Amino acid sequence: MANGTIRVLVCGAAGRMGQETLRTVVDTEGLELVGAVDVVRVGESVGQLIGRHQALGVKIDSVLGNALAATRPDVMVDFCQPVEAAAANFRQAVAAGVRPVVGTSGWTPELVAEVAQLCAEHKVGAIIAPNFAIGAVLMMKCAALVAKYMPAVEIIEMHHDRKLDAPSGTAMRTAELIAEAGARSVAEQGAGEGFRGGTCQGVRIHSVRLPGLLAHQAVVFGELGQTLTIRHDSISRECFMPGVVLACRKVMELDELVFGLENLL
């Protein structure tokens, strides 16, 4: 980091989240876009990719190792899918002393433990966030608070039909947080298991995948004579960008892995 400016490389740069991240880094004071990596649109100018007329001096590279060595970023932002690809990118970045900020979902506890150990060994900070939308993080924190008083709960999460994983990382993280607070889903009463979604930490999650959706989640609590629903809707991918910027800045202060944006608020 020179003169207080954080040098950023974006992995999965040609994807929808990648392109939104590129625009945000270019437009945010204190961040400098130095590299972009993807397996498609290789060699294309980032300015052309995101519809900017100014010469940004960055082209899409196909090999992360080469890009890390050539650009020497402080932070790597990664939205690559699937999670195995993101984990491989994570390992390369940490080995090069670059701090990963990862929005890929699908991380298992075992995989998180592995990369956390890697960060500890190299004393490199990293952030993995199931959701970068500040509103979604607040939804999870509010749900954890409500769970102490209304412990019967189910989660309905809805995403676009191109999302690879189900349930979403946000839903699983929400389930973990409210389970820690003592909430659970009530037992079935003759309902077929195949019609009720699945459970995470004893909390039932229902996943919907349809065109026209982006990212939506409702946490529904029930008590005698009443229900309480906490819902968050992502209307556009712009909603994730303030969280990405926050993570890029906060990760510079870390020497370990932090899982979940709620731990930075």
Is 217 in the same domain as 151? yes
Q: b or e along 116-141 (b: 16 or more beta carbons within 10 Å of the residue's beta carbon)? A: bebbeeeebbbbbbbbbbbebbebbe
Q: How does pLDDT run across 43-55, given as a tens digit for each residue? A: 999 998 998 877 7
d(CA 106, CA 164): 9
- Which tokens belong to 157? 């999460």
Is 160 in the same domain as 248? no
- Which tokens belong to 215? 């990212």
The answer to whether residue 107 sits within a structural domain is: yes
Is 123 in the same domain as 245? yes
The helix/strand/coil state of 213 is coil
Number of structural domains the chain divides into: 2
Write out the H or E segment, with its range, that includes residue 110.
Answer: helix 109-122
d(CA 39, CA 49): 14
Cα 14 → chain centroid? 17
Is 154 in the same domain as 228? yes
The answer to whether residue 46 sits within a structural domain is: yes
> CA distances (Å), 74 to each of 62, 65, 124, in order?
19, 14, 11
CATH number, residue 51: 3.40.50.720
Is 99 in the same domain as 141? no
d(CA 93, CA 235): 31
Indicate which residue of 53, 122, 159, 206 is catalytic: 159
Please report, to the nearest 10 degrees, the dihedral formed by the alpha carbons of residues 161, 166, 172, 178 taken in order: 80
Per-residue pLDDT of the chain (265 residues; tens, 9 = 90+): 667 899 999 999 999 999 999 999 999 999 999 999 999 999 999 998 998 877 788 999 999 999 999 999 999 999 998 999 999 999 999 999 999 999 998 899 999 999 999 999 999 999 999 999 999 999 999 999 999 999 999 999 999 998 888 899 899 999 999 999 988 887 655 455 567 788 888 999 999 999 999 999 999 999 999 999 999 999 999 999 999 999 999 999 999 999 999 999 8
d(CA 102, CA 126): 8
Query: What pLDDT score does 194 carry?
Result: 60
Is 188 in the same domain as 245? no
Query: What pLDDT score does 38 carry?
Result: 96
Is 117 in the same domain as 195? no
Is 122 in the same domain as 251? yes
Q: What is the DSSP letter of 98?
A: P
Is 248 in the same domain as 119? yes
Q: What is the DSSP letter of 264?
A: G
Q: Is 206 a catalytic residue?
A: no
The answer to whether residue 166 sits within a structural domain is: yes
Chain position carrying tokens 């984990």? 87
Chain position carrying tokens 């519809």? 51
The answer to whether residue 89 sits within a structural domain is: yes
Query: What pLDDT score does 192 carry?
Result: 53
The answer to whether residue 162 sits within a structural domain is: yes
The answer to whether residue 124 sits within a structural domain is: yes
CATH number, residue 195: 3.30.360.10
Query: What pLDDT score does 187 carry?
Result: 62
Phi/psi for 252 (5° steps) reads -70, -15
Instruction: Give the residue numbers spanning the domain of 222.
Output: 134-234
The answer to whether residue 1 sits within a structural domain is: no
Is 254 in the same domain as 201? no
Is 104 in the same domain as 148? no
Q: Is 232 a catalytic residue?
A: no
Indicate which residue of 59, 160, 163, 250 is catalytic: 163
- Which tokens belong to 256? 């370990």
- Kindly report the pTM of this predicted structure: 0.87
Is 124 in the same domain as 24? yes
